Amino acid sequence: MKKLAVLSLTVLSILLMVVVVPAQEPAPAPKPGPEHEKLGYYVGKWTEEGELKASAFGPGGKYTATETCEWLPGKFAILCKEDGTMMGGEMHGTSIMSYDPNEKAYLYFETNNWGEISYYHGTVVGDTWTWDDDFKVNGQPVHGRFIRKQVSADTANFSFGMAMGSGQLTTIMEGKQTRQK
């Protein structure tokens, strides 16, 4: 009789777990914040044209590219692919942009077929995005800054500057980006 009571309680417990556990609501999925939504400006297919100035960092010349950016599922980050030419060579790159609420900064990671790896921290004030990175060239510390100013919903002007060590930034490239319709 005691075995029957234990068996009955066990079966009742299992039935309750089967009924009650699925009835619990799963935790709601996280939602992107307003900082993530600002990244939406980058979504789309962009043509880029720029002029590199001859400097200690390399020869001058034209820069042209097409970049396509799209939201990753969940809309917390954007994935971009870029194909173009710069300094006489083909360039193919992939980048990811997102916002880190812990750092209160935008993050940009890029790698390309030249073996370059970039990791920028960014801010946006009004219509101007500023991206900064510290890296090394031939073992020497370099600071890079990319600035993108929105001119309209579908155009932006950009500039890229570099500085050796703690020296003053020198603009080495300027150009325009236009969203294709």
> Looking at the predicted structure, is the pLDDT value of residue 181 above 50?
yes
Domains of the chain and CATH, by start: 34-179 (2.40.128.20)
Confidence class for position 128, pLDDT limits 50, 70, 90: very high
pLDDT bin (cut points 50, 70, 90) of residue 15 is very low
Burial of 79 (0-12, 13-18, 19+ CB in 10 A): middle
CA distance 147 to 18: 57
Please check the confidence at residue 24 and state whether its pLDDT lies above 80: no
Structure-block tokens of residue 141: 């510390």
pLDDT in tens, 51-95: 999 887 778 899 999 999 999 999 999 999 999 999 889 999 999
